[in-house]
């Protein structure tokens, strides 16, 4: 009972860090960007650069994060990671130029990079395998709910506290406090696991051996590419482009567009644990990955290319789109099931790298298309639709790839 309580506390504390960093990177960034655009005179090229730098910085840190948490103390690493995010938000509060804003985002991204991979590894070490998809889904759910909360309440909070800079300061204090909590509560692995020679030997496995194991696992790379296309599209759309698209598509205010965007993340949040439960009931990961990606492509096609939708219909469709995309959380379950224990942390890190690099690449392409379209077409809505269609085709490609994923569920 005592071990179970400790395991739950460790999982909850790691999940709080996920909630915190997602609130910033997928919530606060999106809401404050419109305000920063006017205050700092940011053009569309600068917006694309901001989005891509955040994604690239996060992505490049994923593999080192996976190696570090696999070989060393997750407790110490998570504490430093939260401290980094706090420092990044302290920088964010004082930005006066695009260069300073980029630096602040890089610092936040470095700290945030350790959140998911550490949580996944802690769940795998402290809980049985059958609990992983549900608990990791609940972690994702909590993180996405924080994004929903950010989109719904931050515009009013920013107005109430007289600007996004003050919110940045409060978020930095929260990061430093969280670092202390992680240090006090998190424990790297159970005593029983510490005593086994198999787990002890993991720290002596060389980096080259870890990557050799990874490179020879074909299913890992297939499911990683699937996750990169589906999750990269969703996170990038929600964090950087959907609010502005909603404003040009329906003439929504910032608050209204942010609300619709939050509904998409609400669907994702609801689906994260639900898909873990359903996959256990169906005894299948593959079926949900296939149906989810196909349904997501259909719904996004309607949202991008259909005539103007009324507010209620848009909210229902965005919720459904987020719900369908939530099947991608099972990609991490598949990775944990097809990889040996000593390489799981690196595998999660590589998968996250692909997810965020694909997002960064799409941001650069979209911003380039928008600049070209606006020069020749002079129709903002048409330009947005052409540029954002990249997400639609990426998700269609994810569906095609899902057909090659083998069933990894084992009773």
Q: What angle do CA 146, 151, 155 make, to 5 degrees?
A: 125
Q: pTM (2 decimals)?
A: 0.75
Is the pLDDT confidence value at 201 over 50?
no
Which of 273, 308, 271 lies closest to 293, judged by CA?
A: 271
Res. 59: pLDDT tops 60: yes
Whole-number average pLDDT of the chain = 81
- Pseudo-torsion of CA 18, 240, 354, 396, nearest 10°? 120
Name the residue among 301, 384, 350, 270 with its Cα closest to residue 59: 350
Domains and CATH numbers, the chain: 2-189+202-402 (1.20.1250.20)
Among residues 269, 363, 262, 271, the alpha carbon closest in space to that of 318 is found at: 262
Q: What is the pLDDT of residue 383?
A: 64
Residue 348 has pLDDT above 50, yes or no: yes
Of 116 and 196, which is predicted with more confidence? 116
Taking 60 as the threshold, does the pLDDT of residue 358 lie above it?
yes
Average of pLDDT values for 169-174? 90
> Per residue in 226-282, pLDDT tens?
999 998 888 777 766 666 666 665 655 666 777 777 788 888 888 888 988 898 888
Confidence (pLDDT) at 220: 93
Residue 49 — very low, low, confident or very high, per pLDDT cuts 50/70/90? Answer: confident
Dihedral sign, CA of 298, 289, 233, 389?
A: negative
15: pLDDT strictly greater than 90: yes
- The pLDDT score that the predictor gives to residue 375 is 60
Q: Which residue has the higher pLDDT, 165 or 35?
A: 165
For residue 314, give the 3-state DSSP assignment: helix
Look at 188 and 19; give whichever has higher pLDDT.
Answer: 19
pLDDT class of 398 with cuts at 50, 70, 90 = very high
Residue bearing the bigger pLDDT, 248 or 45: 45
Instruction: Please write the tens of the pLDDT for every residue from 82-138.
Output: 999 999 999 988 888 888 888 988 999 999 989 988 998 899 888 887 788 889 888
Q: How many beta carbons lie within 10 A of that of residue 277, not counting itself?
A: 12
Query: Over 50: is that where the pLDDT of 150 sits?
Result: yes
Tell me if 14 sits within 8 A of 139, measured CB to CB. yes
Q: What is the mean pLDDT of residues 337-365?
A: 82
Task: Quote the CA–CA distance of 61 and 54 in Å, as a whole number.
Answer: 11
Query: If pLDDT is split at 50, 70 and 90, which confidence band does 196 have?
Result: very low
Q: If we measure between CA atoms, which residue out of 196, 207, 203 comes closest to residue 346?
A: 207
- Top pLDDT among 201 and 160 is at 160
CA distance 347 to 90: 32
Position with higher pLDDT, 297 vs 215: 297
Cα distances (angstroms) measured from residue 201 to each of 71, 188, 291: 10, 15, 40
Cβ–Cβ < 8 Å for 338, 34: no
CA pseudo-torsion sign 243, 29, 137, 232: positive
What is the C-alpha separation between 408 and 285, in angstroms, rounded?
Answer: 7
* Rounded average pLDDT over 145-168: 77
Q: Is the pLDDT of residue 385 over 90?
A: no
Is residue 292 predicted with pLDDT exceeding 80?
A: yes
H or E, element range at 24 = none
Residue 183: the pLDDT is 92
Cβ atoms < 10 Å from Cβ of 404: 13
């Amino acid at each position: 009972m005592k071990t179970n309580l400790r395991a739950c506390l460790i999982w909850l504390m790691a999940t709080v860090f996920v909630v915190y960093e997602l609130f910033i990177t997928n919530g606060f960034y999106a809401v404050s960007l419109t305000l920063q655009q006017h205050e700092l005179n940011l053009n569309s090229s600068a917006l694309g650069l901001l989005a891509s730098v955040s994604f690239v910085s996060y992505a490049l840190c994923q593999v080192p994060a996976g190696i570090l948490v696999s070989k060393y103390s997750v407790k110490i690493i998570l504490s430093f990671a939260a401290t980094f995010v706090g420092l990044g938000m302290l920088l964010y509060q004082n930005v006066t130029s695009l260069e300073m804003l980029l630096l602040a985002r890089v610092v936040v991204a470095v700290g945030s990079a350790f959140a998911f991979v550490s949580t996944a590894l802690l769940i795998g070490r402290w809980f049985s395998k059958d609990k992983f998809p549900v608990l990791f889904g609940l972690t994702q759910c909590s993180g996405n709910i924080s994004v929903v909360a950010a989109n719904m309440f931050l515009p009013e909070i920013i107005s109430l506290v007289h600007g996004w800079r003050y919110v940045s300061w409060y978020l930095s204090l929260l990061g430093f406090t969280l670092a202390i909590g992680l240090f006090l509560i998190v424990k790297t692995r159970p005593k029983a696991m510490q005593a086994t020679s198999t787990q002890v030997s993991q720290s002596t496995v060389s980096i080259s051996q870890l990557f050799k194991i990874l490179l020879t696992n074909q299913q890992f790379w297939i499911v990683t590419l699937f996750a990169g296309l589906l999750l990269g599209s969703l996170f990038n759309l929600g964090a950087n482009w959907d609010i502005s698209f909603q404003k040009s598509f329906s003439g929504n205010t910032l608050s209204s567009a942010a609300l619709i965007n939050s509904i998409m993340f609400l669907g994702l949040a609801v689906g994260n644990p639900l898909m873990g439960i359903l996959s256990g009931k169906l005894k299948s990961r593959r079926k949900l990955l296939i149906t989810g990606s196909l349904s997501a492509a259909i719904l996004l096609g309607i949202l991008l290319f259909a005539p103007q939708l009324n507010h209620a219909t848009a909210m229902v469709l965005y919720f459904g789109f987020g719900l369908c995309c939530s099947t991608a959380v099972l990609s991490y379950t598949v990775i944990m099931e097809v990889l040996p224990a000593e390489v799981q942390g690196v595998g999660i890190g590589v998968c996250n790298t692909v997810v965020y690099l694909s997002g960064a690449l799409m941001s650069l392409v979209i911003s380039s298309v928008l600049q070209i379209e606006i020069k020749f077409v002079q129709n903002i809505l048409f330009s947005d639709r052409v540029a954002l269609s990249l997400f639609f085709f990426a998700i269609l490609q994810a569906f095609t790839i899902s057909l090659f994923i083998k069933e990894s569920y084992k009773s």
